[in-house]
Structure 1
Amino acid sequence: MSNHSPVAIAPSIQDVHTAYLEELGPRERAALMSWAGFTGTFATVRVITYSIREGKGPFRNLSVGNAHLHHYMWGIGLLTGVGAVAVHGPDGTRRHPGVALSYGVGLALIVDEFALLLDLKDVYWSRQGRLSLDLGIGLVSLGGTAFAALPMLQRLARSRRSRTALRSGLNGSPRKS
């Protein structure tokens, strides 16, 4: 049995929170929250939309009378609210993480149905057109989120390397797998 303590694979929530606060300024936090909101919403909406299309799961289309309510409508409403806060709100409110997150969420709801807004219905649901849009937007959103989080991720990586080196040094020999 080894006396070595296990090396944490993932950082703790406290480590992530500390890196978020210490490595990112207000503008960088807003960018990260916007990208995270966009990425999470886009992924969630894709899963829900495909499940509705396949008739699986608890989700169904939302309609009023015979009119289907597309989710871009909710995105437009959300961005309208964010715009009102940006134009009329005090600095503390405009820089609130919830505003940045709401912006990303609203934008994802609109972008996901952009082909419908352009009246490209056949492209939107054709297999190749939809897969192309999903992959393209998904990769851009993941890249943007990672780029916005880069200072924070670099700090977490440095902390992990430091903990690993410290554990190896305390035990007198390199850690064996």
Structure 2
Amino acid sequence: MGHWLQRNIIEPGKLPLLLALTAFVLTFLITRVITRLIRAGRGPFGNVKAGGLHIHHVVPGVVLAIVGGFGAVASSRHGLGSAVFAVLFGMGAGLVLDEFALILHLDDVYWTEEGRKSVEAVVLTAALVGLMLSGFSPFGVNDMSQQELNDRGSVISTVVVNFLFSLAVLSKGKTRMAIFSVIVPFIGLIGLVRLARPGSPWAKRFYRRRPRARARSALRAYHHDRRWVGPRRRFQDLLGGKPDPTPDRALGR
């Protein structure tokens, strides 16, 4: 383990990234535990208020992210300073993305159905950073030989082509696949050959006069959502807590 850490993390200068990712995940998990205890009225924790104003934890998160980000830019890549600033940035990012849904909706939707977007943002960010930590570079640059890397034209063309692939996948309504294809272009190729989701820009443009393609697209989306919506919601509930029922659901409507 020590040899692997030295060769794959420390020597390439990825220790700050590992520390930031660890701090990011731990901060999110600890924050969710505390907020769930506050929600249940258990433990010594409570909402932070100043002059009757509820201070959401996104506020200290922004401060920590700013300090950690600017500190990391100003410090050297190696040394204790970079490690400290990486941890601060990871903690700040964890606090900010834990309330991503509040920023998106400009409303306190933390324990609502819309609040699930925060959990999705955290999981997606952790997965992408984990891929980068494993050696994946954006737009498939990691797959190029040293000679190709030395050729600026090859690098630019590879980035542009893979970026267009990601945009095409995004236009098919496959947001997650498009984001991951930035790091792993092969995912983008899979998204390109699969049917677009109903209502996506791709489907509106290319399936408009193809009723069979529209029907197949709708059927595939239905089966996909039916298969994965349940496990995804249970996973989100496990990480972030179950949202409050909406008034309609509470009344059995």
TM-score range normalised by the length of the shorter chain? 0.5 to 0.7
Residues 1:45 and 2:35 are matched in the alignment: no
Residues 1:139 and 2:106 are matched in the alignment: no
Q: State the 1:82 CA deviation.
A: 1.8
User: 2:64: which partner in 1?
Assistant: 78
Q: State the 1:71 CA deviation.
A: 0.9
Q: State the 1:95 CA deviation.
A: 6.3
Q: State the 1:26 CA deviation.
A: 4.8
Taking structure 2 as the reference length, what is the TM-score of the superposition?
A: 0.45
Whole-angstrom CA distance in 2 between matches of 1:132 and 1:83: 24
> What residue ranges of structure 2 are gaps of 5+ in the alignment?
136-253
User: 1:19: which partner in 2?
Assistant: 4
Paired residues in the alignment total 134
Amino acid at match of 2:121: I
User: 2:91: which partner in 1?
Assistant: 105
Is the contact made by 1:82 and 1:102 (CA closer than 8 Å) also made in structure 2? yes
Q: State the 1:109 CA deviation.
A: 0.8
Is the contact made by 2:102 and 2:110 (CA closer than 8 Å) also made in structure 1? yes
Whole-angstrom CA distance in 2 between matches of 1:95 and 1:18: 24
Paired residues for 1:60-99 under 5 Å: 60-92=46-78, 96-99=82-85
Q: State the 1:52 CA deviation.
A: 0.9
User: 2:101: which partner in 1?
Assistant: 115
Point out which structure has higher relative CO (alpha carbons under 8 A, 6+ apart). 1
**Per the alignment, do residues 149 and 88 of structure 1 end up closer, same or farther by CA in structure 2, a change over 3 Å counting?**
closer
Is the contact made by 2:16 and 2:83 (CA closer than 8 Å) also made in structure 1? yes
Percent identity between matched residues is 30
User: 2:40: which partner in 1?
Assistant: 54
User: 1:125: which partner in 2?
Assistant: 111
Q: State the 1:132 CA deviation.
A: 4.7
Whole-angstrom CA distance in 1 between matches of 2:6 and 2:132: 14
Is the contact made by 1:72 and 1:110 (CA closer than 8 Å) also made in structure 2? yes
User: Which deviations, in whole Å up to 9, do the C-alpha atoms of 1:52-90 show, x marking residues without a partner?
Assistant: 122122211111221222111111111221233234435
Is the contact made by 2:109 and 2:115 (CA closer than 8 Å) also made in structure 1? yes
Q: Secondary structure at the match of 1:124?
A: coil
Q: Secondary structure at the match of 2:4?
A: helix
**Per the alignment, do residues 71 and 88 of structure 1 end up closer, same or farther by CA in structure 2, a change over 3 Å counting?**
same
Whole-angstrom CA distance in 2 between matches of 1:99 and 1:139: 22
What value does the CA root-mean-square deviation take over the aligned residues? 2.7
Taking structure 1 as the reference length, what is the TM-score of the superposition?
A: 0.61
Q: State the 1:116 CA deviation.
A: 2.4
